[in-house]
Amino acid sequence: MVAIIGHNGSGKSTLLKQLNGLLRPAEGTVAVMGKNISESTTASLARDIGYLGQNPNNYLFEDTLERELQFTLRNLQVPEPEWSGRIDWTLKMLDLERYRYSFPRDLSCGERERAALASILVGRPRILVLDEPTRGLDHWNKSRLASILGTLREQGMTTVMVTHDYRFVAEHATRVLSLNDGALREVPLAAVMEMVKVCGTEA
Ligand SMILES: Nc1ncnc2c1ncn2[C@@H]1O[C@H](COP(=O)(O)OP(=O)(O)O)[C@@H](O)[C@H]1O
Ligand SMILES: [Mg+2]
């Protein structure tokens, strides 16, 4: 569970978008798990890297939640016999089973966030990339997200997230990197805990 922190405009979102080929470097190379992203198609990167941007509504456009998840599975060319098992697993993990046939955009804010996450997780990426996943979440939805990410971690999934929420980082990240002046620096977890004490929750 890697957290990336840094000032506004330091390039955190830009960095995340390079991990799944949404953006490609104008110079230099970006390699993810040994794959040069400039030589990989967005479709092949999407199989390994699940990216969730800041607005969950951008991920929800089908009539039912089930169809959202099927859309991802079709895109990733997952064999159809696997679909129902994958969808069951995802909805259960995110506690969304009762919304399987609901209209996703009618869900509450916290549920929409989980529905958007579901549309990524159903692809079973090896790395989950989240841009400010705690933004706008109340305490309850935040701890819910933390518990989901904890379960995924136990199952071997890596999460890379950008967040300004130092408390969330201190409580849940296993590694923290700070992006500043174009360079990533390792930040000891103890230093993040200190920042929470000094500055409060938000950066
Ligand atoms: N390495 C870079 N070189 C040039 N411009 C960059 C670089 N990283 C970010 N930018 C530009 O800086 C602006 C802010 O970047 P962004 O990734 O949105 O920052 P953050 O998410 O940290 O607030 C964007 O316009 C982006 O294109
Ligand atoms: Mg950003």
Range of the domain at 26: 2-199
For the CA of 16, the nearest atom of ligand 1: 17
Is 81 a pocket residue for ligand 1 (Cβ < 6 Å)?
no
Per-residue CA distances from 196 to 4, 85, 150, 167, 171 (Å): 15, 41, 21, 6, 10
In this predicted structure, the answer to whether residue 177 has a pLDDT above a threshold of 80 is yes
102-158 pLDDT, tens per residue?
999 899 988 999 999 999 999 999 999 999 999 888 899 999 999 999 999 999 999
Whichever domain contains 11, its CATH number is 3.40.50.300
Total domain count for the chain? 1
Q: Whose CA is nearest to atom 1 of ligand 1?
A: 182
**What pTM was estimated for this model as a whole?**
0.93
